[in-house]
């Protein structure tokens, strides 16, 4: 007997037929004698609709009311799944964030989990009940509903797993694991049996939406074996693969990975926009003013490139911001023109960040050189570069996204044999 968390994403609960399919997966684990907490997302597309309504109601709205609205999708799917499970003879009840409670801070729309009363759920396991938890939502100290940021049900699942001391957390989605890159873009992408926490963290934060970044951080901190698996695999089919592990991809410590590749995966993010300031003064304090103003406006800056000045007096500066903040960032820079002092500002949302990730890069030189050469051969111009120990990211024209990802995927030998 094990204690497990099973998380099902939006496409897995998109309609009643799929919810029935999910219930069969849950019943299988319950019938095997396991204690089960299920975490569900809203039905596919539902959260997008709710977000659109809040924007339509008022472009600048009260973030607390935004959360009241967008948390609603998970209430419906958790209730429906509990009903279907009961129909199948599985004792189950739904749990909204506030009922457990799952406490968060009060950063509405991007709240972070502080504490989960795991004992509430454990008590129900003792009574033989399956807990169906609404993902993505919690409650802040001031008694208002909060949400955890888009894709946040992954984080709910891992956090619940930590709170109840689960043996593992299974993230069921519409792909059967983590791939070397998004399989929707590169059909040759290969499924990985194992990915190290650090690599998954980079992949997720650099655009691979298969797991929310925060969920990977929590899995790493609490050492929770986390599997990414398909809800579309038959509920009554084989559930284990090599080594008797559950099917799918295991996210684990790097020393649990025997055959380490140099490059593990390629991620890309279209969620970027670039802003260039021409001829800013090359003197102390300029960067502090530019990035201070953006930070005051709660805009995150990612890649920053500044040239060495040719005349000792002026230089050019380029940086990226989330695409959703592009217009606001341009407005902040234009409003601060006198304080910053620049000749011209330009911006573009037609950029994409492509990243090559692998912990093998720590001990292996030449990965970047190979990357730049391969892209040059395809006449893809690199606009900016950033690196860390285990990743290289470049900014390119969005029109070349697929070509760049495919080129790098073959270059590092990741294509399916």
Both tokens of residue 33?
Answer: 């004698």
Q: Candidates 6-14, 243-251, 281-289, 379-387: pick the segment binding Mg ion (CB under 5 A).
A: 6-14
- Residue 78, interface with ligand ASP (CB under 6 A)? no
Among 21, 34, 41, 47, binds ligand ADP (CB under 6 A): 41
Among 29, 73, 227, 261, binds ligand ASP (CB under 6 A): 73
Measured from the CB atom, the residue of 154 and 325 that comes closer to Mg ion is: 154
Tell me the backbone φ, ψ of residue 140, rounded to 5 degrees.
Answer: -90, 170
Count Cβ atoms within 10 A of the Cβ of residue 308 and give its class: 0-12 exposed, 13-18 middle, 19 or more buried: exposed
- Residue 137, interface with ligand ASP (CB under 6 A)? no
Please list every residue from 43 through 62 that binds ligand ASP, using CB under 6 A: 47
Q: Candidates 16-24, 146-154, 226-234, 401-409: pick the segment binding ligand ASP (CB under 6 A).
A: 146-154
Measured from the CB atom, the residue of 172 and 319 that comes closer to Mg ion is: 172
Measured from the CB atom, the residue of 114 and 184 that comes closer to ligand ADP is: 184
Long-range pairs for 80-86 at CB < 8 Å and ≥24 separation? 80/13, 80/16, 80/19, 81/8, 81/13, 81/19, 81/22, 81/23, 81/26, 81/38, 81/40, 81/132, 82/132, 84/16, 84/19, 84/20, 84/23, 85/23, 85/26, 85/27, 85/130, 85/132
Give, for 376, the enclosing helix (H) or strand (E): helix 367-377
- Residue 151, interface with Mg ion (CB under 5 A)? yes
Count Cβ atoms within 10 A of the Cβ of residue 209 and give its class: 0-12 exposed, 13-18 middle, 19 or more buried: middle
Residues with Cβ within 8 Å of 32's Cβ and at least 6 positions away in sequence, in order, are none
Beta partners for residue 8, in sequence order: 40, 172
DSSP state of 175: S
Binding-residue pattern over the window 261 to 280 for ligand ADP, x denoting contact by CB under 6 A: ----x---------------
- Residue 21, interface with ligand ASP (CB under 6 A)? no
Selection from ligand ADP, Mg ion, ligand ASP, none that 152 binds (CB < 5 to 8 A by kind) is ligand ASP
CB of 183 to ligand ADP, least distance (A): 6
- Residue 179, interface with ligand ADP (CB under 6 A)? yes
Q: Candidates 16-24, 31-39, 147-155, 364-372: pick the segment binding ligand ASP (CB under 6 A).
A: 147-155
Q: Candidates 181-189, 296-304, 343-351, 374-382: pick the segment binding ligand ADP (CB under 6 A).
A: 181-189
DSSP state of 78: H
Measured from the CB atom, the residue of 42 and 218 that comes closer to ligand ASP is: 42
Report whether 186 contacts 405 (CB < 8 A): yes
Q: What residue ranges in 323-413 does DSSP mark as E strands?
A: 344-348, 351-357, 384-388, 391-397
Helices in 8-134 by DSSP H: which ranges?
16-31, 46-57, 63-70, 72-87, 118-126
Among 97, 135, 248, 358, binds ligand ASP (CB under 6 A): 135
Among 178, 219, 224, 394, binds ligand ADP (CB under 6 A): 178
Among 55, 61, 114, 184, binds ligand ADP (CB under 6 A): 184
- Residue 10, interface with ligand ADP (CB under 6 A)? yes
- CA dist 211 and 194 (Å) reads 14
Binding site for ligand ASP (CB under 6 A): 9-10, 41-42, 47, 73, 135-136, 150-154
Binding site for ligand ADP (CB under 6 A): 9-12, 41, 151, 173-175, 178-179, 181-184, 208-210, 265
């Amino acid at each position: 007997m094990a204690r497990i968390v099973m998380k099902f994403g939006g496409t897995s609960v998109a309609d009643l037929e799929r919810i029935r399919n999910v219930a069969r997966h849950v019943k299988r684990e319950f019938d095997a004698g396991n204690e089960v907490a299920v975490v569900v997302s809203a039905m596919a597309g539902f959260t997008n609709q709710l977000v659109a309504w809040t924007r339509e109601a008022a472009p600048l709205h009260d973030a607390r009311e935004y959360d009241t609205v967008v948390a609603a999708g998970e209430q419906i799917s958790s209730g429906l799944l509990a009903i279907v499970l009961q129909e199948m003879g599985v004792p189950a009840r739904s749990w909204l964030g506030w009922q457990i409670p799952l406490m968060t801070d009060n950063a509405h729309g991007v709240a972070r989990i502080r504490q989960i009363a795991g004992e509430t759920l454990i008590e129900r396991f003792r009574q033989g009940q399956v807990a169906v938890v609404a993902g993505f939502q919690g409650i802040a100290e001031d008694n208002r509903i909060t949400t955890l940021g888009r894709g946040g049900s992954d984080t709910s699942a891992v956090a619940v797993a930590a709170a109840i001391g689960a043996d593992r957390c299974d993230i069921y989605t519409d792909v059967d694991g983590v791939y070397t890159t998004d399989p929707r873009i590169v059909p040759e992408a290969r499924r990985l049996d194992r990915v190290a926490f650090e690599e998954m963290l980079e992949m997720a934060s650099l655009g691979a939406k298969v797991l929310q970044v925060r969920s990977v951080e929590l899995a790493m901190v609490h050492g929770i074996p986390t599997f990414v698996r398909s809800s579309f695999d038959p509920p009554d089919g084989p559930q284990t693969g090599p080594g008797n592990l559950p099917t799918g991809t295991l996210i684990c410590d790097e020393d649990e990975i025997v055959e380490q590749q140099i490059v593990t995966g390629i991620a890309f993010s279209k969620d970027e926009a670039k802003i260039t300031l021409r001829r800013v003064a090359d003197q102390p304090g300029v960067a502090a003013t530019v990035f201070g103003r953006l930070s005051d406006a709660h805009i995150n800056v990612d890649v920053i490139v500044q040239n060495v000045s040719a005349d000792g007096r002026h230089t050019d500066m380029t940086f990226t911001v989330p695409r959703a903040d592009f217009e606001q960032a341009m407005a902040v820079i234009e409003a601060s023109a006198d304080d910053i002092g620049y000749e011209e500002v330009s911006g573009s949302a037609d950029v994409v960040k492509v990243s090559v990730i692998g912990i093998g890069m720590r001990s292996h030189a030449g990965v970047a050189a190979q990357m730049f050469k391969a892209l040059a051969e395809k006449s893809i111009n690199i606009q900016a570069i950033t690196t860390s120990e285990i990743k290289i990211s470049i900014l390119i024209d969005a029109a070349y996204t697929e070509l760049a990802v495919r080129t790098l995927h073959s270059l590092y030998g990741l294509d399916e044999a």
